[in-house]
Structure 1
Amino acid sequence: MIFQERAAPPEWAPFVTRLWYLETPRVRRYEKILPLPFVHLIVNLSEPYRLVDPRGQASVVEDAFVSGIQTEYLLIESPRLIRHVGVEFTPQGLRAFSTIAPSDATGRVQPASAALSGIAQLTRRLRRQPTPDAALASLEAFLHERRRPELQADTLVTEVLAAMADHPDERIGEFAVRAGITHKTVIAHFRAACGITPKAFAEVLRFHRFVTGLPIGEHLPGWADLAATSWYYDQPHVVRAFRRFSGYTPAEYVRRVTEFGPDAASFVPLDEVPQSPS
């Protein structure tokens, strides 16, 4: 396995968290990707990925694609050798490099050509790079060329995201009162910058923080105890979140992820396509 990560330049802090290069054999043929509180650009340098819909129908994903913030899990068929470079944008980050409306990325996996000009040329360039360092440098240069200097971070949205990072269960109305603005103003700013409502995003963030914080492989407390120390109200609330965002009960999820370790918390390997409920 080769994994190399590069922090985003400091001036990109409101928009990009990291860039990475990954080369590794797939763990299993399929992978269930649970909702993530980020937007991703992936430039695939291997065989194509395929996206599997709820009916089990697969479609080939273009070499470079953008995955917006998802509110449901995705199911993909991975190439035998995973080799790609990627960018992790903050919830409001894509618009700093693209003219696509944030709402047009939310809940979708689409060709990156719809969001970023020159992506085909970048893909060809990346295929020729001899090292991960060189590939990451090319990717960073590509983003520098597309940075929209006239577009700055929405300071209100930045404050909301920081508040959510500390308290994913806080109601937006409470934040609005503290900030001295209306609830509708917060929602309008957040949707314009991130393409999703603050409530929907907070639910994704809360679940992501919960599953990535589970002590997989260690002694796991009872779900009622875990709920009590998290941002969920009670055990039934946890169960509903797992059903909605992973398609598993909490116990089913832990059984599957324990086999593969904490790295599988949001990327659950599968041998076959799950059967859709009748």
Structure 2
Amino acid sequence: MDYVARVPAPPLDRYIDDLYCLIGTPRHHRVNVPPMPSAHLFLNLGGPARLCDSDPAVPPATMADGWFMGLWTRRFTVEYPAFVHLVGVHFKPWGMSPFAGLPADELRDRWVPVDAVWRRSLDRIRNRVGGAASPDDALRALEEELRARLAEAPPQGLDLVRHTGLRLETEFGALPIAGLAEAAGVSPNHLTAQFRRHVGVTPKRVARIYRFARLILSVDALRPADWAGLANLAGFYDQAHFSREFKDFTGHTPSEYLALRRRLPAARDFPPDAGPMPAE
């Protein structure tokens, strides 16, 4: 499966990590996705994909055309079709706010059809992106669509969240929230309220996800894993807490995860394999 990515030009890069296109036969048809510091827009131009929440009370969903997905705080599974043709957006944790026009907590741990957010727009966008001559052209078309939809002025409180979120991103979540609030000249309660509005979760939860992302991306399955050292690097000072969080985020113990990665290694230079893992 080929992966083509594009970092959008300013000012979209304040809110979006990259636009991407996935085309081809997937290496693994079921993929387990841990919580990662991003929200998503998917435009599906191929066969339907199936999305399964790790919470058994939530029914699976079939993604046949286009979906928004807010920040996730628990793992989920994607079942790809035999042939994948998907165009997507990796929003920063706060990045969907100036495009979606609704509180981010309404999209937390949820997938929502595009037309439920952008009324009667999905067919036009899919036709424009799907009719592009190449993946690069498709990404340029999607970037133009996003640029046209970007709010002229950021919603109230978003600049505060973006500034604080960038510090959490840079430090991989290893910063005290009270100190971030003090540096921004606001109360912790105000900062938390703005994060809930624009990200859908508290800044403490965002820090937790960044911390885990650093950990999971630091694991080299080809070498013996120094779990204590990796946990300490990521800011886990209690081994029991680290083990619980790892199992919560991935569904595996650290040793089970390492064994899985050794049997089914991530493809080099293929970002979709970096955090997600094959689901057995």
TM-score of the pair, normalised by structure 2: 0.89
Code of the aligned partner of 2:104: P
- The equivalences for 1:30-109 within 5 A come to 30-53=30-53, 54-55=55-56, 58-109=60-111
Q: Return structure 1 stretches of 4+ with deviation > 6 angstroms.
A: none
Q: Secondary structure at the residue paired with 2:31?
A: strand
Q: Which residue of 1 aligns with 2:270?
A: none
**Alpha carbons of structure 1 residues 148 and 181: separation in structure 2 relative to 1, 3 Å:** closer
Could you list the runs of 5+ residues in structure 1 that have no partner in the other structure? 272-278
Deviation for aligned residue 1:55: 4.0
Alpha-carbon displacement from aligned partner over 1:150-203 (angstroms, at most 9, x marks no partner) = 225733212211221215132211222333431111111222221211111111
Q: Which residue of 2 aligns with 1:215?
A: 220
Q: Which residue of 2 aligns with 1:269?
A: 278
Q: Is the 8 A contact 2:12 2:147 kept in 1?
A: no
**Alpha carbons of structure 1 residues 95 and 179: separation in structure 2 relative to 1, 3 Å:** closer
Q: Is the 8 A contact 2:66 2:122 kept in 1?
A: yes
Code of the aligned partner of 1:125: R
Q: Secondary structure at the residue paired with 2:11?
A: helix
CA RMSD of the aligned region, Å?
Answer: 2.0
Code of the aligned partner of 1:47: G
Give yes or no for the alignment of 1:172 onto 2:174: no
Deviation for aligned residue 1:232: 0.9
Q: Is the 8 A contact 1:62 1:111 kept in 2?
A: no
Code of the aligned partner of 2:279: L
Could you list the runs of 5+ residues in structure 2 that have no partner in the other structure? 268-272
Q: Which residue of 1 aligns with 2:4?
A: 4
Of residues 146, 171, 188, the one that matches 2:149 is 146
Q: Is the 8 A contact 1:100 1:114 kept in 2?
A: no
TM-score of the pair, normalised by structure 1: 0.89
**Percent identity (aligned):** 27
Q: Is the 8 A contact 1:102 1:195 kept in 2?
A: yes
- The equivalences for 1:110-149 within 5 A come to 110-117=112-119, 118-149=121-152
Q: Which residue of 2 aligns with 1:163?
A: 167
Q: Secondary structure at the residue paired with 2:277?
A: strand
CA distance in 2, matches of 1:137, 1:127: 12
Q: Is the 8 A contact 2:22 2:85 kept in 1?
A: yes
Code of the aligned partner of 1:240: R
Q: Is the 8 A contact 1:98 1:146 kept in 2?
A: no
Give yes or no for the alignment of 1:250 onto 2:278: no
Deviation for aligned residue 1:73: 0.3
**Alpha carbons of structure 1 residues 267 and 167: separation in structure 2 relative to 1, 3 Å:** closer
Deviation for aligned residue 1:129: 2.1
CA distance in 2, matches of 1:90, 1:108: 16
CA distance in 2, matches of 1:98, 1:58: 23
CA distance in 2, matches of 1:193, 1:163: 16
Code of the aligned partner of 2:4: Q
